[in-house]
Structure 1
Amino acid sequence: MAGRNIGVAVDFSPCSKSALRWAAANLAASGDRLILIHVKSSYQYEQGVAHLWEHDGSPLIPLVEFSDPRVSKMYGVAPDRETLEILTRAASCQKGVQVFAKVLWGDPGKKLTEALQRIPLQWLVVGSRGLSAVKRVLMGSVSSYVVKHAACPVTVVRENMLPSAVTTNH
């Protein structure tokens, strides 16, 4: 199925980079848009422009702009080299895959589930740190929240990326 909007939740941690790699290699196909979604829980930003997008998030930012340090600074995001390399490979190696970024502000679980309808997304990929049951109860889990509340398929990728580390709900 071509023409899908595939979201990947990224906080620039190792597990979110694993999710991004997995989505680029196993899910994105010609005609799809791969959308990196970064949720900032803090409303503190150097530039005063982010308040314009506080409710709905930033516009979709093309990869070439997101890679520009001046543009990413405007949104209060600092993508690392590895993440940008994964995105660049996805855009150049898979013909017809467009890569964008979207920055949201607020509670990560809630903002990701809102993004499913607002963008809209046909699929969402999230990373999982593999918290124990006790830690999930005490700290909460963004991936658990999203799986429970999402209205589209969600794939959860653990950092080690073994075949058994990928779970998808439909």
Structure 2
Amino acid sequence: MEKSVMVVGIDDSDHSFYALEWTLQHFFSASPENSPFKIVVVHAKPSALATVGLAGPGAADVLPYVDMDLKKIAARVIEKAKEICAAKSVNDVIYEVAEGDARNALCDAVENHHASVLVVGSHGYGAIKRAVLGSVSDYCAHHAHCSVMIVKKPKIKH
């Protein structure tokens, strides 16, 4: 029997790494090799052009440096995800870096892998930040062609 695919979206935030850890703990902890899911970890790397935007004269000169930094960040994110998976003894993982907006990259990954579940972390933005920045989890909940699980990191009570 072929395993269902679970896509986990990650970025360089504590919220997304928490979502990955939570997923591994709840779906892969008993015996990772007997889990009903195959896991695909996806990081969306923004394009240098989208990051710099239309900054005016000289913007083209910085694009290679911005792209190099974005690639370093992506490599660091994937490396941390590999460490988290290895610590939970989950070794049969596909790691991908997709270029573009996270919303589209995650929905595309769901389609490409025929995933039955997409897991994303919640940054816990308020209404104003969510309206300005957009919510990846909200977009995916409405547009991904599978079930979407939004993992929220518990708030620390003082």
Given the two structures, how large is their TM-score scaled by the length of structure 2?
Answer: 0.71
2:42 counterpart of 1:37: yes
C-alpha change, 1:161 and 1:153, in structure 2 (3 Å) is farther
CA–CA distance in 2 between the matches of 1:21 and 1:99? 14
- For the pair shown, the structure with the greater C-alpha radius of gyration is 2
Match of 1:98 among 88, 92, 96: 92
Given the two structures, how large is their TM-score scaled by the length of structure 1?
Answer: 0.67
Unaligned runs of 5+ in 1: 47-71, 163-170
Q: CA deviation at 1:83?
A: 3.2
User: Percent of counterpart pairs with the same letter?
Assistant: 30
Q: Which residue of 1 aligns with 2:8?
A: 8
Greater share of residues in helix? 2
Q: Answer yes or no: is the 8 Å Cα contact 2:43–2:78 preserved in 1.
A: no
Other structure's SS at 1:12 match: coil
Match of 1:145 among 127, 139, 143: 139
Structure 1 counterpart of 2:22, one-letter code: W
CA–CA distance in 1 between the matches of 2:127 and 2:151? 17
Size of the aligned set, in residue pairs, is 132
Q: CA deviation at 1:156?
A: 0.5
Other structure's SS at 2:76 match: coil
CA–CA distance in 1 between the matches of 2:17 and 2:77? 11
C-alpha change, 1:155 and 1:26, in structure 2 (3 Å) is same
Q: Which residue of 2 aligns with 1:84?
A: 82
Q: Provide the aligned C-alpha RMSD in A.
A: 2.7
Other structure's SS at 2:77 match: coil
Give every structure 1 segment of 4 or more consecutive aligned residues whose post-TM-superposition deviation is greater than 4 Å: none
Unaligned runs of 5+ in 2: 49-65
Q: Answer yes or no: is the 8 Å Cα contact 1:12–1:83 preserved in 2.
A: no
Structure 1 counterpart of 2:144, one-letter code: A
Q: Which residue of 2 aligns with 1:131?
A: 125
C-alpha change, 1:115 and 1:83, in structure 2 (3 Å) is closer
C-alpha change, 1:124 and 1:10, in structure 2 (3 Å) is same
Structure 1 counterpart of 2:77, one-letter code: P
CA–CA distance in 1 between the matches of 2:99 and 2:155? 28
C-alpha change, 1:80 and 1:135, in structure 2 (3 Å) is same
C-alpha change, 1:80 and 1:151, in structure 2 (3 Å) is closer
Other structure's SS at 1:33 match: strand
Structure 2 counterpart of 1:10, one-letter code: I
